[in-house]
Each structure stands twice: as C-alpha cells, then as structure tokens.
Amino acid sequence: MSASNSLAHADITTLLHPYTDARAHEAKGPIVIDRGKGIYVYDDSGKEYIEGLAGLWSVAVGFDEPRLVEAAARQMAKLPYYHTFSSKSHEPSIRLAEKLVEMTPENLTRVFFTSSGSEANDTVVKMVWYMNNALGRPRKKTFLARTKAYHGITVASGSLTGLPNNHRDFDLPAIPVRHLTCPHFYRFGLPGESEAAFTARLVAEAEQVILEEGPETIAAFIGEPLMAAGGVLPPPEGYWQGIEALCRKYDILLVADEVINGFGRLGSSFGCVHYGFTPDILVASKQITSSYMPLAAIVFSEAIYNAIADNTARIGTFGHGFTASGHPVATAVGLENLAIIEEKDLVGNAARVGAVLQRELARFADHPLVGEVRGAGLIAALELVSDKATKAPFAPIGKVGAAAYAAGHANGLIVRAIGDTVALCPPLVITESQVLELVARLGRTLDDVAAQLP
C-alpha cells in the first residue's frame, strides 16, 4: 500500500469529518492536501489547485507566508503559552487588542479573545445576557438573526445560524432567537417588487417582530454585513441603515459578525464600514491570523464594557473565559498578519483586483446555467438555475452544485458549493492575472457541468 493509500485508509477508519456525508466519505476517501504556495494548494499526488475559497474564506496572505511562520516560532520560543485569567496578561494579546481598537470603528474600545468564531458568538450571547441582567432588564434576552445566516455551530451560535442542516437533529435553536427573512433580493424579492420596496418590507418585518415579542425582550440583532456561507448574499440598498435605525429606536444592540467580511474581504476594512453602519459589537476571526492560528476577537463598546465591569465588581469575577483566550502564539501571528495586510495594502488589492473579479464573473450572466452573479470585492458567487427566466432551481437542490464542486477539482479549482450556488473567496493576495486564470478554470468547470446535464 502506498503512503497516500495508507493515509487515506487511516483517514476513513478514524476521522469523522465536519460537513461531510460520513458514509459517502468511507467509499470515496479524502482529498489529502499536502502543501500550499500563494493562492495555490497541492494534493498528495502533486495536483495543483487554485484555492478559490482561501481555505474556509480565511487565508488572506496566501499559503506560504514566512513572516507568520517566523512570528509563531519567535513567540513559541519566548512564551509558548500563557493565559489571561485573573489579571494575568502578555504582550501579544495586549498589542493585538490595541491594534483592533485602532482598526475598527471609533465607538469600539474593548476586546475579548476566543479561538473560534463560534466561541466568539457564544460569548456575545452570554455577554449580552450578563449585561442585561446587570442592568436590571432580565427579560431582554432574545436575538434577532436571519434565515441563511451563519454564525457558527456551538449551542448558542448554532442557534443564531439560520441554516436547516445546522439545526436538524441537533435540537437547535436552543436559545431565544427569531430568524427574519434573508435579505436576498433575487430569491426573496416578490414578483414586481423593487429593491427599495424589498428593503422596506424587510425592515417593516423586523419592526413587527420586535413589537410582537415586545422591545423589552429583544436584546440584539446579529448579522453578517454580507452573508457569506449562506450563499454570498450582499444586502439590498439601504437595508443596514433601516436595521440600524430600528436597533437605536428600540434599544437593541447591533452585532456585526465580521468573521468573513473583516480585514478587507469586501474591499473595505470591515463590512460595516463598506455598508455604512455602526455596530455595538464586532466579531472578527479567520483573516485575523489568515487562519494560520485559531483566533477570534469580540470588539465592543465602552457602554457594554462598563455594564459588564460593574457587574464583575458586584460578583467578584467575570465567570467566563477560555484556556486559549488571547493565546500568545495566535495573537502574535495575528499582529504580524495584520501588519502584512497593511503593508501590502491588501484591502486596496481586494478593491482593485476584486473589481476585476466581479467584472469577469459578470460575463457568466449569459451562461445557460447561471441565474445570478453577485458579490463584492474578493467574494462572489454564481447561482446556478434550471430556468433563467423563472429562476427555477434544479431538482434536487445541491446535485448540480456538487457536480460543479467536483468539476472544479478536476479543473484545478477549489470552490464552495452552497446548494447550487458556486462561491468564490480567494486569498486577498491574488493578482489580476491570477484572477483571470481562476475565471478561466471556472468557465471550463461550468461548461463541463453543462455538458453533463441531460
């Protein structure tokens, strides 16, 4: 048995993979990714792929950045681990907290670290509940989220997520949450409805839910500025302004989940900056370290900090924290990664090269399989449909998407298939000529899928 066959055998006999049909996996085995270089990764047979999703929407600086390796090695050698419980601290987490406060909107002044986006959103739920108990409003606990939202998979964050497979058979939602209509005009706009009328309808729906539940019970509205894992869904014009106004009117905290949008993905520093709204809480992860190390950060307002801090003084502690909160190696890598993003102007690159990506993808609007092309900066998607005029999806949903995913691999391109939507989110270091190569591989992929259809 070759080394790779024995690896595959060990994989299928030991691992339960996230987001995988385990029985199908046992039959077909893993694709073992062996190494990376720039925007490319290589499997263990040496086949090259453009990583069109930057791993999990997350590797900003490419797959072989030596400065991050050196930053990790330096910190490992000096202080590989220390915690931040009980007033202990260390320089990397202090410096990164300072940097995040500097980079994010002005009203966000305080930072709490976790290791994943899910832990961060669970922490947001607990912080908001703790704060409202401290403020003597114990009924103000319900979160507003949206269908197709992705906020993670732990018990509270998975409850905020609005995707059926994250709830089904997991007994979720398990916290008080109301999921509002997904702000995707192409799918949820009514026949004859204008985009402005769609926005107004969704904002009115949110207000109706707030009034139905009672504003004194609604704690927060959480949303990805541009919804990513649900299908790359830019909001309709004016949506965030409408939601922000409602939050202010009813004293509801506004949480921007920037786990994918943050640090330049849309061609702006953050999604909330891109769409022009000001959150009370901003959640960041993924591109914070280019995912070389697990890390997430919650950046929040002084008012929230003060309410929580006063309560810790009453109780004697903030009874929340993770062994790895602010891990020194992860925060050291985060600092170096953010320095690279600034020095190489990767936010500007996402705007400039992203415009090329969006322009080139727009040409696929004429392709017989493509219903909608959408995106912003360096994140985009093509929604594949069986009938362009009626927008009718393929049946069963997901089969054509799976075919596109497989054809992408055959053509040396890793994409994400979300139902029948093909999502792209390449590393922020991608160049214009590499975008053209990505688009060429995508074109061959779509033609191969079209040729397979009856």
- Applying CB under 6 A, which residues contact ligand PLP? 56, 116-118, 121, 150-152, 224, 228-229, 257, 259-260, 285
Angle at 383 between CA 178 and CA 57, to 5 degrees: 70
Beta carbon of residue 32, minimum distance to ligand PLP (angstroms, whole number): 21
Q: Which residue is nearest to ligand PLP (CB)?
A: 117
64's tokens: 């072989």
CA distance 60 to 305: 30
The residue among 384, 375, 334 whose CA lies nearest residue 184 is 375
Beta carbon of residue 245, minimum distance to ligand PLP (angstroms, whole number): 23
Q: For helices 195-213 and 239-249, give the axis angle rounded to 10 degrees.
A: 20
The residue among 269, 262, 323, 284 whose CA lies nearest residue 116 is 284
CA distance 446 to 370: 9
Between 189 and 262, CB nearer to ligand PLP: 262
Cis peptide before 173 (omega within 30 of 0): yes
Between 182 and 400, CB nearer to ligand PLP: 182
Beta carbon of residue 239, minimum distance to ligand PLP (angstroms, whole number): 17
Please count the other Cβ atoms lying within 10 Å of the Cβ belonging to residue 104: 24
Locate all alpha helices (DSSP H) within 363-422, ordered by sequence: 399-410
Please answer whether residues 140 and 172 qualify as being in contact, where contact means their C-beta atoms are separated by less than 8 angstroms: no
Beta carbon of residue 291, minimum distance to ligand PLP (angstroms, whole number): 9
258's tokens: 């920037």
Beta carbon of residue 24, minimum distance to ligand PLP (angstroms, whole number): 22
Between 272 and 370, CB nearer to ligand PLP: 272
Please count the other Cβ atoms lying within 10 Å of the Cβ belonging to residue 35: 12
Look at residue 60 and give its three-state secondary structure: coil
Between 158 and 393, CB nearer to ligand PLP: 158
Q: What backbone torsions phi and psi does residue 174 show, to the nearest 5 degrees? A: -120, 10
Between 182 and 260, CB nearer to ligand PLP: 260
Between 228 and 400, CB nearer to ligand PLP: 228
CA distance 37 to 66: 11
Between 260 and 407, CB nearer to ligand PLP: 260
Beta carbon of residue 206, minimum distance to ligand PLP (angstroms, whole number): 19
Between 61 and 259, CB nearer to ligand PLP: 259
Q: For helices 328-343 and 346-362, give the axis angle rounded to 10 degrees.
A: 70
Beta carbon of residue 151, minimum distance to ligand PLP (angstroms, whole number): 5
Beta carbon of residue 260, minimum distance to ligand PLP (angstroms, whole number): 5
